[in-house]
Amino acid sequence: MFTQKDTQQIEGRGASVRQVKEQIDHFKSGFPWMKIVGPATPVRGIKVLDAPEVKAAVAYYKQAEVKGKSKFVPASGAASRMFKDMFSGLATLEGGEDLKADAPGAKLAARIKDFAFYTPELFGEPEDSAAYRKDVLAKLLKEEGLAYGSKPKGVLKFHRYPEEVRTAIAEHLVEAQEYMRNADGSCNITVTISPEHQSLFEEAIGAIKDAFEKRYGVRYNIHFTFQDKATDTIAVDPDNKPFRKADGSLLFRPAGHGALIHNLNKVEDELVSIKNIDNVSHEKLLPVTAEYKQVLMGVALQLRDKIFAYLKKLDQDPSVQLCNEIENFLDKELCIQLPLAHSEAERVQMLRAKLNRPIRVCGMVRNEGEPGGGPYIIAGKDGCTSLQILESVQINKDDAGAMQAMSKATHFNPVDLVCCLNDYKGEHFDLLQYVDPEAGFISSKSFEGRELKALELPGLWNGAMSDWNTLFVEVPIETFNPVKVVLDLLRPAHQG
């Protein structure tokens, strides 16, 4: 299957031929469907906190002992999808046709002054003409203008204030000082980026870091991390044979955000907050954003301390009464139901294994039509049930039970989660030991006009965290303000 030159290419990327052969086997066999027990809802699976519980969670976060806090921001890739409609509109205008009034490109040109990246020097005064629309889109997307079509979202200007304009990464710095300070006044931020974008991020952060540190009385420790090339997966043709480029070399593709579990595994702090680069809002929403981040962290630390106490008791006196209490806790709080054990010793071993795992508390938003994966209760291969976040591609559309569960889902995943990465003895978990390798998926793509099949690793908040202890908590829709397309910046959450 592979030539000596192929082997050199594979090993030169830090991977092995065995790993690549396993990936090709996945293309041939596919991935098993998740066995869905039901959707996670406020009835079972999603914790809905009342006002006193919200207050208690925030208070717990503020007094709990934590061995370091970090913000983890996935920010790899260019913002090409964000401007897909704009590229299409520009192509239409360059072809001599005008845009319809309701076309995205026409809407952007008409409201150009409402975008934070607008300057009169670059875009002039708005005009209702095809020539102006073409000029606006060209200056927005191309190198002679802002070149936003090829830059990462993190360095794009998102929000305008009376005294400044902020990029997406700037808003993450503002958020971090509000709810992620360490005891010494520092804020640790890990940003996953593509190597070719490092200078852009350094420039964007360099322009604000000193001023923000002085303004907020904080010290930022910002670390850039790259998605390891060794985690890229091989592409195959429709017949599941290695896809080869015109020069005969193998084609490898980034394996999705699931590869970032390797980057998260290198974060040394105990408590980590994860939020995508584009999910920021204007500072007017910072109070509710910060409050519910602290709620998630407080709930996570409450859960951590409860689990640690149980593990210490199991070390001292693994009584039947204690085991009954733990089983009830796992079922009620984490939707984990265990199979019957053959002996008390096996039962204790099973309970210890279920307790002693990384912890994640995930915010869940009421489903109001926004796209995104959702929270479900699934039955695992080990006979246990658990809470999981599934993408729609992981749900078998031919399974009536799975589709019924999907139709009854009440919430979706906004990618707003908090992780506890240390065990009860203070040691850092090896996160790679808690990944479900069978939770990946296959998608159809193209390269140079030819069809191919791509393999995505188990997603960071999907299969990569499959064997974590998981708790879902409802958070307000006001905390979820992603910018998937550029016109999203016109929504109230992004306007002053």
Tens of pLDDT, residues 28-56: 998 888 899 999 999 999 999 999 999 99
Which residue in 23, 17, 38, 73 sits closest to 440, CA to CA? 23
pTM (2 d.p.): 0.92
Q: Give the DSSP H/E element, type plus range, for residue 219.
A: strand 219-226
> Average per-residue pLDDT in the chain?
94
Average pLDDT over residues 400-423: 93
Tens of pLDDT, residues 64-81: 999 999 999 999 877 888
Average pLDDT over residues 73-97: 92
8, 12, 250, 438, 483 from 241: Cα distances, Å: 18, 21, 10, 21, 37
Cα–Cα distance, 133 to 86 (Å, whole number): 10
The token duo for 440 is 């990946």
Tens of pLDDT, residues 149-183: 999 999 999 999 999 999 999 999 999 999 999 99
Q: What is the pLDDT of residue 129?
A: 97
Positive or negative torsion for Cα 282, 173, 357, 295:
negative
Q: How far is CA 399 from the centre of its chain?
A: 27
Q: Is the pLDDT of residue 144 over 80?
A: yes
pLDDT confidence band for 370 (50 / 70 / 90) = low
Tens of pLDDT, residues 231-276: 889 999 999 999 999 999 999 988 878 889 999 999 999 999 999 9
Between helices 320-334 and 344-355, what is the axis angle to 10°?
A: 40
CB 472, CB 40: distance < 8 Å: yes
Q: Where are the domains positioned within the chain?
A: 4-68+231-258+271-494, 83-151
Pseudo-torsion of CA 106, 111, 113, 115, nearest 10°?
Answer: -90
